[in-house]
Structure formats: C-alpha cells, structure tokens
Structure 1
C-alpha cells in the first residue's frame, strides 16, 4: 500500500504495513530444525518438534497479548531533575553508533553524565561529539566481514565451534567484559544503562548493579503478531500467520541462547551472578518487561497493537547536522548537472568490490543518470583506470548534508541511512546484505517509496537498473515526500528521552539529601537514601563511616524460572540436578590432574604436589556433596512446589503472587503465605468453584466446577506442604550464596566510594552545610515517622 493510503485514516495508522516474507518456500536442511539463508535469515521448519512446541506456546501468548490497547505515541511526559551516570552500550557499525550519539547529546541537556561504550574504532567519533567514550574491544570491520561471509546473527549449530564462529564467540566474551568495565571504571559507576539488544551484556550488568535498564533498537525485537522477526524465514504451513509471526521471536531468541548461553553464564559466574537456565535465557527480556524504545518513524512502521505500555515507537534518531564544508570535487559535481543518485553500502565489507563496482557503473550508464558513489569500507572503485564523467566516487561524507542534494538513494538498508534518505524525501532502493536490512527494504517498498529489496547475492545490473528507474518515477517521489512530511513532525530523540525518563523509578532514584542526585547508599540505622557525594561529605565530616552505609539498589532485578506444571517443572529440575552431579563428579578426577600438571610446570616438590592434589580433590568432593544435598533437599522440592502452585493457570485461574524468595527471611514469608492461602483456597474451592461455574453454565458448569475444585484442592494443598520446606530452603541457600559470592559487590562499593571522593573534592562550603543540615533533618523525619507508625499500631 502507498504511504498515503496507509496514513490517511487515523485508525488505520495503528496497523503496520504488510511485511511479506521474501521466500516462504525455502526448505530447511534435513539434519536440523534451522538453517541460514543467503540473506542472513534463519530458515525455520514449522513441522519440527522444537518449532511446534514454541508455536503452541506462542498461540496462547499471542491471544493473551491482544488485551493491550497501547497508544501510538508516548502518553507520559514529566519534568526530570535527577542527574544520572548513564552507560550506553552499543555493538555494531557506525550506523548503529550514530543514533546513540544523538541520544547521548540530548541526555546531556538534562544534566546526565553519558558514557558511550562501543568498539575502539569509534573513539574519535564519539569524543568529537562531546560524549565520554569507553572501548569494549571487538573490531566492527571484522564483524561486518564475518556477517557478509556467513550472514545471520544465528549460525548453524555445527559451525558454532569452528573457525570464524569460534572467533566471533571470543570477540563476544571480550566485549561482555568490556561492557562491565564501562559500568564501573574511571571514577564512574553507572546509575542506568541504555543498550541495543545485540550488546548482550545489558541485563546482566543491570542485575549486578541493581540499576534500571532501557533497551533501544532500530529493528523489531519484541514479540508481535504484526510481522515476523526480521531474521526469521519460514517453510510454508497452515498455521495462522499471526501465530507464526509471534513465534518467530521466541525461536530466534532460543537459537541465539543456544549459541551464546554458555559464554554469558561463564561471564555471569565472574560477576557472582547465578547461571540463567536454558528455558529462561530466550525469554528473559520479555519476562522482565524491560522497557523498550524503537528508533523508527511510526509514519513508516506504526506501533503494533499487541505491544504493551513498556514499549514505545518514538521516531528515528537524528543528530544535529554537523558543520560541513564539502570538498571542491563534490561541490563542483553537484553544480555541474541535475541532482545525482547516491549509491553506497557504508560499513558493509563486500566479498568482490570490483564486481559490485562494475554492476553499479553499468546500471548508471544504462539509466543515463548522474551518480555519487560512496567508496565505503569496501573501497568501491579502487584501481579504476577510467571513471565516467557522470560519476563521482567519494569518501566519508555526512548523509545529513549530502542527501539534501540527491534525487534518490541506493544503499544496504541500514536503519539510519534509510531514515536519513526518507527524511530528505529521497526514494530509496535497498540492497540488503544481512540482519534487519531485508526488513527495512520491505517497509520502504510497502510504503511505496522504493522497489522491493534486492538481495546482494542476486544483484546484477538489470536489477539495479529497474530499481533506479522505480525510484525516479513520480509515484515513488510523492510517497517519499509524504513520509518526509510526516517525519518532519516527529522528534525521535526527544521522545526517546521522554520514554527513558517515564520508565525510571523516580522515587527510588532520588537522594533524600540532594534531590538532584541519584541514591547509591542507604544508612544502616535509618532508611535514608544517600548519593555518592552526600555520603562522602558526611564521611569527610566524621558524621558517618563507610561501615554505616550499605549498597542501595534503585531497581533490583530478580530472575526466576517460571514453572507451568509439576511434571515438567520436577523433571526439568531433576535433569538439571543430574547434569550438576555429573559435572561435579568429573571434577573430583579432573581437578587433581590439573593440579598435577600445574605443579609439574612450576617444578613443585612431590609433597607439595600431593597436597595440592588432595586439596583440589577434597574441594570438588565437598562441592559434589553439596550438589547432591541441595538438589534433593531444595531444588527439586522447590520446582515441584512451584509446579503445583501453577496448576490453576491451566484452567484459567489467576495464581496469587507471594513475592520473590530473595533470602532466608523472605523464604519463610513466602512459605507461610503459600501454606495459609493454599490450604484456605484449596478447601473453599471445593464448593465455590461448582457454584461459580454453575451460575454461568448450569449443570455442565457445576460438573466443570467440581473438576476445577478437586484439581485445585490437590495442587494447592500439595504446593502448601512442599513449600514449607522448599521456600525456606531456597531462601537459606540464597543467603549463603550472597555471603559467599561477595567479590563483585565489594568491587562496586569500592568504585562508588572512589567516585564519591572525586565528587566531594570540589564542593563548596554551602554544599557541605546543606548536606549536614539535610542529613540531620532526614534523621528527625524518619524517627518521627517510626514513632507515628508505632503509636498508630
């Protein structure tokens, strides 16, 4: 449909443009559930066991998601005064980094300190924009070359541990550590994290620090029935397209976790975080309802109806146009004739640049158009002996400036380049290589502003001629101009900052003494929240010591393993327990052997070697015993209790939430509530369920009610009994682990104190007096509140 047709009626704007799968008949390899196509998408066989299971889940989830009725744009706008340390974590090319530079600059206007953590090669690009930079490692050029050679974020399972893919896994492990360091190093401890999803470290860093997380991205990453995941491709089937679309997100996430879950859990171990179960990793972000902002124009892709309130579509992110004086050759070429067509593939590393250059030059010649060709990372046009008069090869040039002077754009389909072209009213032809590029090609084509995308593997001069000719038609120009006029009314960066602020826990963040500062500490004797600077001033003036303070988490993240029924939950826990036992038992043998080898290398004496081997074996034997006891006494009963507690969900009853088991005290609280409510609800349900169902369905309803009552009685009483042991046991284990795994917390505390010391170095006398008097006032207020509460009870 054209843009005009899609946006003329306000109600129709809620529906995204139709997204057709490029090749729904592609067959998957017979050896597995998935394969990777030439355009980087994943072939998914809808008849495989895995996908059938996920589709069944998606069918229920998709029906449940229809209860949302979100607005297209943000509805929450509030002033913001608290100044935060914000880390922006980005993986990708220059086109991925550039929108977040615009975001960082806008965040700075609110007084936030913004650090952009990304690849080393973008250091000058970030710093010249006035933002702090932190290098996380990983060469984007190498990543881009890998993606072109082996397109798709999800390689096949066999290739995961071979050659290039093993190298990619090593790069990701390096970047995970880099992202964590960016959160705590150099007198900077993050108070909030903004990230694009492929950075992968985001939610784990946020959990370790107990701070808010907000994801932002230029391609769909949240389950929706409106369109499939941009990286998914399907074999034809009879399943509802809406269900298939919804399921595609879970399938892609599952495959991603298969390839990276072990790397992430190894790194989480370094951060003293518990491993994430296989069944939780793929759904973690959606389970936690992490706020999400999508950086594209709702004029091009409106917000789907089944996305909740924590998801916003804000518009493309545009930075302030850079001051740019064009080189003489560009300026002269633009003045020498009609507006040219722009052709360029930016950060893409093409296998055969010479062949691509030949295709482009032949198409330009046949179309009788003038063209500006960007050399890009592939260095198109290198070694040409003769360049046509109507063609100019250029190096780096800001698209914001250049696209004002061209008639159409042909590019790889990066979201930022597509946005810039459409913002300037340029019809757009997309040659996708991998990732979300086919998606943006389809979206532009659906809006009538360009031809269908042309996968680079099949691109030839004839195809490119047809694409350029399409872009120069009046209809395409009109559609592009209409999108441009819609985008002119949007302020994507400003709306994204509003979205970020709207999802922050304002009251949790604020320091009780300095309201413009974020709380990092809590006074142990009274519930007073203190910022790093306020705490350091109180320490410097001998009002408090460091031991008087405990770490304050502004937004704790608790990751749980949701259970569906007692059979699957218990069997899953049992399988995990067997795996842990196997790992622990092999460690009893492997650990002494490792110590023997180490001792031989170090030249240790026989007695010392024997002692080391005995100690290593004893340590692993102790861990083996703990694994056996914890599995039998805690993990399996806990999973079984949770499974029985979840049974009423099967017949549509809402299950009470008794809170998280965080430590030994909350474990006993949850056990008590589960026992009291479980017994009461189980017994009363024996007659309330038949009565309620009978009122609506008569005799048949009574029969249904009897069945629900009996099933509910059995499951709730069973959960109540098991929970008396399971929930306290789980809480005790977490308390023990909290004490034993304290290294990361100590590191974070040390870095917070260091930042506080630096902040307090340049405070004025008035600031000191304000903090001292404010702390005394806060103490008095808290004491009076406690007195009032005790007297009222």
Structure 2
C-alpha cells in the first residue's frame, strides 16, 4: 500500500509519525513522510519530503508564548500555516497515495483525500478533536466540566475557520469546487491506555492504539553515561518550552533538586533551561539533549513540562514524573497523571520554586508502584502495530 503520512509541529509531533512510518516500511508498504524542517526527530532511512516550514526557528525567535503568537499572527503564524496546508496537499497530490494519514494541523487532508478518492485517517496526538463527556479537550479547561466537556471540542473547528482562504486555494489546486471534505475514515490516538482510558462515547472509528515509539533506545554521550552511572539523580528538562527567564528557572529547579538531596541532569532543550556557570558543580550534568529511554530508566524522577511524548517516555521507563506545565495539552496530562496516582500535583511553571519542587521530589516514592504497573501495561502494547492494522483495513 502507498501511504502518505503528514505532520506539523515540533519534535513531539514528528516522532510518532516517524515511528509509524518505519513500522509500515518494515511491513512492506511504500511510505512517504511530509514534515517540517529541523524537528530534531530521527528520520534517517525514510522517504521524507519537506513542507518548507521550520517550527524550531519560530520557537527560537518568539518562544511558546500565546501572546507572542497572537502578535506575530500575520507575519509568522499565518504564512507558516498556509505553507503547511498547501505544501502538504501538493506533496500528497504528487505522491498519489492509497491512504493519507494526517496530523490535525494538516487542515487540507480531507480535501486531498476526496480529490484522490482515497480514505484518510486523522491522528490526534492529544485528544482535541473527538468530543466526549469524559474529559475536556486538551488545552481548554483545566477542570472536568461534566456533560459540558463536549462543548470544549468546538475550539478545533473555530481554528479551521481562520484558514478558509488557504483551504479554498487548495481546492483550486486540486481542481475541486471549494466546500467541506468528507470526515476521516478512522481517527488514531497514539496514546497508552495506561494514561488515558478510552471513553465509552467515542465512535467505533476512533482507536486508542498505544504510543508510537521507535524500537531503538538511542545512544548517550560518554559524559552523560558516566554521570548516570554515578548514583541517584533527577532528570529536568522542558523540551521546546522556551518561555520566561530560563536562567531563573534553572536556579529554582537545581535548588529544589539539591534541597531534596539528589544530583541533577539538566537538559537545556530549545531554551527551557539556561544554567549559569555559578550553578555548575560535581552534582550537576548539563547537556542540550539526551535520549530519553536510557536516561529515564536510570532516573529517580523526571521533572518536565508534560508533553505527551515525554509523559509516555518517562512512564514507560518507570520514572515518576513531576510536571511543570507551560501551555496547551500539558495541564491536561498533569491532571490525568494525578487522577491515576502516577504523579504528584503538577506545579504550573510560573509557580515553580525550589521549595515546591523539593517537596514534590521528596514524595515521589509513593507513586513508584503505580508507575511501574503502568510501565508494565505499556510494555504489552503495540501502538504502531495496532495503528497499521487499522490503516490496512481502510483499503
């Protein structure tokens, strides 16, 4: 089967698609992956086409502030989304796949699938598109609204309306009369049931598959490996969450880790932490990035922003997470982990202090049994295999 997989966003949006692409290739399918530039994901050996956008550059320039995104909407966000919408459509049209698999940001996916006469599948990296009364859409309300939870999923439709002109241009490119596209034939959520139980009011076409992860763990530098071998430590890193004062945040994070009596492995990422020289010491190792699997397997706990990729990786490795959510779906995962007894109460990043972090770290052992049980459950899942079986059934 010829499959086109298209995704947009940062590393956490690209890596699951790369994992699914590798699994599909191993199964004998012809797969093309359409992605943004410089995501940081390992795409080696895959048939990759660029959509000509760079989310990493946007994060480096303006961070992850919602206010900054609003201010730069016309100059940055709108042109970027136009490229995502049009270039992914062009890539799919040129490839002529038999099935199209798309991230929710690929707003043109349904139009292209209709024009080609093929099924398409929507991939909800986090639950934001399929309404349920079980919980609010990730990134909306931080509390359960009961039967009103379903209304929070309307936000996704409102976002689509912002790019009507670009979607009309896609229709013209495809030789179609502008109008609505058919709904996806399937919706895939690459999320473990250990973290999120499937709501009973989801349609049968919606599949909670388990996480999509690469088979290989990744290599560590000699310096990082030596530090890990030196005894108990806490991982702290915030991925692409460039916001606020990263040096002040590093002081609070390191202060909390030291106060709790641990060594610290600090990962600076795209600017979530900046560690001044005066904070360095024999109990601290600083690096810009690490392979999560081997680090989390050795860590006592992982202090992070709560992106679903990091939540999956930490839980699968048996590391207790201490979340400091910044934006979007991160408070949602903080609430889910707390509800399931997998983590202490999240500490919003603006309230992250050494004292609060030290208190959270001092109590992580009471969450260890539940995290280990979740890790065992996740080890039995085959997310990419489950997703591939759904896609193969769409022919």
- Same fold at TM > 0.5: yes
Gaps of 5+ in 2: none
SS in 2 for 1:232: coil
Equivalence for 1:21: none
CA distance in 2, matches of 1:189, 1:443: 40
Question: Does residue 183 of structure 1 match 2:92?
Answer: yes
Question: Does residue 365 of structure 1 match 2:274?
Answer: no
Are residues 301 and 123 of structure 1, via their aligned partners in 2, closer, same or farther at CA, if it must alter by over 3 Å?
Answer: closer
SS in 2 for 1:233: coil
RMSD: 2.4
Question: Are 2:19 and 2:384, in contact at CA under 8 Å, matched by a contact in 1?
Answer: yes
Question: Does residue 311 of structure 1 match 2:220?
Answer: no
Equivalence for 1:138: 53
Question: Does residue 214 of structure 1 match 2:214?
Answer: no
Could you tell me which of 87, 90, 96 is aligned with 2:13? 96
Could you tell me which of 226, 246, 249 is aligned with 2:153? 249
Could you tell me which of 278, 290, 306 is aligned with 1:397? 290
Equivalence for 2:385: 494
Are residues 225 and 363 of structure 1, via their aligned partners in 2, closer, same or farther at CA, if it must alter by over 3 Å?
Answer: same
CA distance in 1, matches of 2:67, 2:390: 33
Q: TM-score, normalised to structure 2's length?
A: 0.92
Gaps of 5+ in 1: 1-83, 506-793
Cα offset, 1:379, TM superposition: 6.8
Cα offset, 1:173, TM superposition: 0.7
Equivalence for 1:481: 372
CA distance in 2, matches of 1:189, 1:335: 50
Cα offset, 1:260, TM superposition: 2.2
SS in 2 for 1:451: coil
Are residues 144 and 424 of structure 1, via their aligned partners in 2, closer, same or farther at CA, if it must alter by over 3 Å?
Answer: same
Are residues 469 and 274 of structure 1, via their aligned partners in 2, closer, same or farther at CA, if it must alter by over 3 Å?
Answer: farther
SS in 2 for 1:86: strand
CA distance in 2, matches of 1:446, 1:228: 14
SS in 2 for 1:453: coil
Q: TM-score, normalised to structure 1's length?
A: 0.47
Cα offset, 1:165, TM superposition: 4.6
Are residues 229 and 181 of structure 1, via their aligned partners in 2, closer, same or farther at CA, if it must alter by over 3 Å?
Answer: same
Which structure dedicates a bigger proportion of its chain to helix?
1
Are residues 453 and 181 of structure 1, via their aligned partners in 2, closer, same or farther at CA, if it must alter by over 3 Å?
Answer: same
| Rg comparison, structure with higher value | 1
SS in 1 for 2:48: strand
Are residues 358 and 247 of structure 1, via their aligned partners in 2, closer, same or farther at CA, if it must alter by over 3 Å?
Answer: same
CA distance in 2, matches of 1:306, 1:289: 17
Question: Are 1:381 and 1:393, in contact at CA under 8 Å, matched by a contact in 2?
Answer: no
Cα offset, 1:335, TM superposition: 2.2
CA deviation string 1:102-160 (max 9, x = no partner): 1111111221111111112148831x1x21110002211244455622169xx7xxx5x
Cα offset, 1:373, TM superposition: 0.8
SS in 2 for 1:115: strand
Question: Are 2:39 and 2:56, in contact at CA under 8 Å, matched by a contact in 1?
Answer: no
CA distance in 1, matches of 2:383, 2:370: 21
Which structure dedicates a bigger proportion of its chain to strand?
2
Equivalence for 1:231: 139
CA distance in 1, matches of 2:107, 2:251: 39
Question: Does residue 200 of structure 1 match 2:95?
Answer: no
CA deviation string 1:627-681 (max 9, x = no partner): xxxxxxxxxxxxxxxxxxxxxxxxxxxxxxxxxxxxxxxxxxxxxxxxxxxxxxx
Are residues 123 and 193 of structure 1, via their aligned partners in 2, closer, same or farther at CA, if it must alter by over 3 Å?
Answer: farther
User: In the TM superposition, what are the counterparts of 1:327-726 in structure 2 within 5 Å?
Assistant: 327-338=221-232, 340-378=233-271, 380-471=273-364, 473=365, 475-502=366-393, 504-505=394-395
Are residues 217 and 307 of structure 1, via their aligned partners in 2, closer, same or farther at CA, if it must alter by over 3 Å?
Answer: same
Return the structure number with greater relative CO, CA threshold 8 A, min gap 6. Answer: 2
Equivalence for 2:3: 86
Are residues 382 and 365 of structure 1, via their aligned partners in 2, closer, same or farther at CA, if it must alter by over 3 Å?
Answer: closer
Cα offset, 1:422, TM superposition: 0.5
CA distance in 1, matches of 2:292, 2:40: 20
CA deviation string 1:278-308 (max 9, x = no partner): xx6xxx67xx253111111112211100111
CA distance in 1, matches of 2:74, 2:335: 29
CA deviation string 1:602-633 (max 9, x = no partner): xxxxxxxxxxxxxxxxxxxxxxxxxxxxxxxx
Are residues 199 and 435 of structure 1, via their aligned partners in 2, closer, same or farther at CA, if it must alter by over 3 Å?
Answer: farther
Question: Are 1:354 and 1:381, in contact at CA under 8 Å, matched by a contact in 2?
Answer: yes
